[in-house]
Amino acid sequence: MKPAAFDYVRAESAAEALEVLHAEGAGARVLAGGQSLLPMLNMRLARPAVLVDIMAVAEWRSVEDDGSHLRIGAAVRQMEIEQRADLARRQPLLAAVLPWIGHAQTRSRGTVCGSVAHADPSAELPLVLVALDGRVHLRSRRKARQMPASEFFTGMMATVRADDEIIEAVSLPAAKPGTGYAFREVARRHGDFAIIACAAVVDQNGARLAVGGVADRPMALDLPVPGSPELPDALNQFAWDLDARDDLHATARYRRELVRRIGREVIEEAQRCRA
Amino acid sequence: MPRLSAKLHYQVSFILNGSVVAGEAEPRLLLTDFLRHVVGATGTHVGCEHGVCGACTVQINGRPARACLTLAVQVQGADIKTVEGLAPASDRLSVLQESFREHHALQCGFCTSGILMSLDSLFREKPDATEAEIRETLAGHLCRCTGYAPIMKAAMAAQKTLRTGVEGPANA
């Protein structure tokens, strides 16, 4: 399994990367950490004419924390975020999911924005972005635009990103006082793709549950708080609405049961974390 | 930077186990194949070629990474360590390698070089890594014949030796 031939540009500035994307359109692919793209190239599921390596672009290498939001640039590796000493305090949900992404041997290279761009329905980072109502920042030579994560993902490995656009950053809200966060994943082995991944955010107003690995993209629903008599019915309805399918790893029925059970458990755990 | 053409070969050089190596690579050439076929360093093994099995794990700038998910042109100028860089001398094994031999932690040996590179990095970064952390590191590697129990035994014994320094400051 070797990639088909492609040209390679190591962009030294954002402008240079955007110029190549503008000129090549669908023939170009952004290469960041390569931990999702290289398997696709090796298996020839993708055959781009040119790869634009963005890891030397200085303006995309930063993480900004303005107090209310964390903004993670396109060339920031997952390991770099994971090793921030204050991460569990600044955004506990992000800290909780990072160890679940692939393995240390892939997080050392893979980027946060690259995982969002790849948009695998069972991936952890798109799930967190949807759970926290984070935003995706796109840029092309023509313009910059941004949108909530829930509007960015449109289906299985499908997003609203145009061919000449790059995700230059994602931003997510920092932890708020009085808000609890929790995450759980069910997979055959640590590092495998999630059969289901659940992230919950609970504050005084209610609970938000995001589920990955079931629908064709991460989906979130605002639900009654734990202890509310409506919660079981609301979870059951959500489980059916996700339109789970049978696959090699689990049946649709099993996945619905996981949404009901793991969903309730993460909401309860997030509730406990509020204290 | 000028665009590298798919049809041409380019000079790639980096530091491999402390020495500069150079060779020619098309843009699509994987680091695994550059190491094995261009440099001739065949200690790094090639298994699944999509990042799952861990056999090709090397260290890029000190961190374990899949050589099969890395292009040779991406590591221009990088500092790379492979299994050939573990032993302190040609007639001596590192503490970690010796421990694998001692505890029968390899049978066919296909997965071993990748596992050694991950553990070498782990014990350098976290000398006091817990058993759970060692297990999590091994989760990034598939072994289909030896079994993980002797590998865990060897890893923990090597960690103990490295921490107590019985073997001196040998590199793990």
- What distance in Å separates the CA atoms of residue A132 and residue A125, rounded to the nearest whole number? 11
- Does A87 lie in the same domain as A169? yes
* Cα distance between residue A55 and residue A76, in whole Å: 8
Q: Examine residue B127 and state whether it is found in any structural domain, yes or no.
A: yes
- Whether the pLDDT of residue A269 is over 80: the answer is yes
Question: In CATH, what number is assigned to the domain containing residue A78?
Answer: 3.30.465.10
Domain of B69 in residue numbering reads as 10-85
Q: Which of B11, B28, B117, B135 to mutate to test the interface with A (most CBs of A within 10 A)?
A: B28
pLDDT band at B1 (very low <50, low <70, confident <90, very high): low
Domain shared by A166 and A186, yes or no:
no
Q: How high is the pLDDT of residue B167?
A: 55
**Bridging pattern class, strands A153-155 and A196-203:** unpaired
DSSP for B106-172 reads -SS-TTHHHHHHHHHHHHHH-TT--HHHHHHHHTTS--SSS-HHHHHHHHHHHHHHHHHTTT-S---
Q: Is residue B5 part of a domain?
A: no
Instruction: Tell me whether residue A2 is in a domain.
Output: no
A44 interaction partners in chain B (CB closer than 8 Å): none
Q: Decide if B141 is inside a domain.
A: yes
- Structure confidence by residue, pLDDT tens digits, B43-78: 999 999 999 999 999 999 999 999 999 999 999 999
How close B4 gets to chain A, by Cα (Å)?
5
Q: Of all residues in chain A, what percent carry a pLDDT higher than 90?
A: 94
The answer to whether residues B57 and B141 touch, using CB atoms and an 8 Å cutoff, is yes
- Judged by average pLDDT, the poorest of A262-266, B35-39, B165-169 is B165-169
Contact flag A105-B70 (C-beta cutoff 8 Å): no
φ, ψ of residue B58 in degrees (nearest 5):
-130, 180
Chain B residues in contact with A79 by the CB 8 A cut-off are 63
Provide the number of structural domains found in chain B: 2
Q: What is the mean pLDDT of residues B96-114?
A: 97
Examine residue B23 and state whether it is found in any structural domain, yes or no: yes
- pTM of the full predicted structure? 0.95
What pLDDT sits at residue B172?
A: 47
Residue B14 placed within a domain: yes
Chain A residues close to B51, C-beta within 8 Å? 35, 38-39, 102, 106
pLDDT greater than 60 at residue B168 = no
**Does residue B31 lie within any of the structural domains?**
yes
Number of neighbouring beta carbons within 10 Å of residue A124 = 26
Within 13 A of A140's CA, how many CA atoms are on the CB side? Answer: 13
The predicted model gives A32-46 an average pLDDT of 97
What's the confidence (pLDDT) of residue B170? 47
Looking at CA atoms only, how far is residue A19 from chain B in angstroms? 12
Q: pLDDT above 70 covers what percent of chain A?
A: 100
Q: Has residue A241 been placed in a domain?
A: yes
In a domain, A19, yes or no: yes
User: Do both B100 and B135 map to the same domain?
Assistant: yes
Task: Output the pLDDT for position A188.
Answer: 87
Q: What is the total residue count of chain A?
A: 275
Q: Is-contact A266 A186, C-beta < 8 A? A: no
Indicate whether B172 belongs to any domain: no
- What's the CATH number where B19 sits? 3.10.20.30
Of A173, A193, A228, the position where a domain reaches its end is A173
Print the domain residue range for A34: 7-53
Record: contact B63-A55, CB cut-off 8 A: no
CB-based contact B70 A190, cutoff 8 Å: no
Disruptive mutation site among A103, A111, A188, A189 for chain B (greatest number of B CBs within 10 Å): A103
Residues A66 and A140 in one domain: yes
Note the pLDDT of residue A226.
85
When CB atoms are compared, the residue of A8, A41, A105 closest to B66 is: A105
The per-residue pLDDT for range A130-185, each reduced to its tens digit, is 999 999 999 999 999 999 999 999 999 999 999 999 999 999 999 999 999 999 99
Is the model's pLDDT at B169 over the cut of 60? no
Res A45 pLDDT > 90: yes
Count structural domains, chain A: 3
Domain shared by A80 and A148, yes or no? yes
Residue B50 to chain A, least CA–CA distance (Å): 5
Which of chain A's residues have a Cβ under 8 Å away from the Cβ of B32?
none
Q: Do B81 and B100 fall into the same domain?
A: no
pLDDT at B2: 80
Query: Is the per-residue pLDDT at A246 higher than 80?
Result: yes
Confidence of residue A192 (pLDDT cuts 50, 70, 90): confident
Q: What is the biggest distance separating any 2 CA atoms in chain B, rounded to whole angstroms? A: 53
B42 and B60 together in one domain: yes
In a domain, A206, yes or no: yes
Task: Determine the 3-state secondary structure of A85 from DSSP.
Answer: coil
For range A17-29, the mean pLDDT: 97
Per-residue pLDDT tens over the stretch A128-141: 999 999 999 999 99
The CA distance from A54 to A56, in Å, is 6
Closest-CA residue of B relative to A106 is: B65
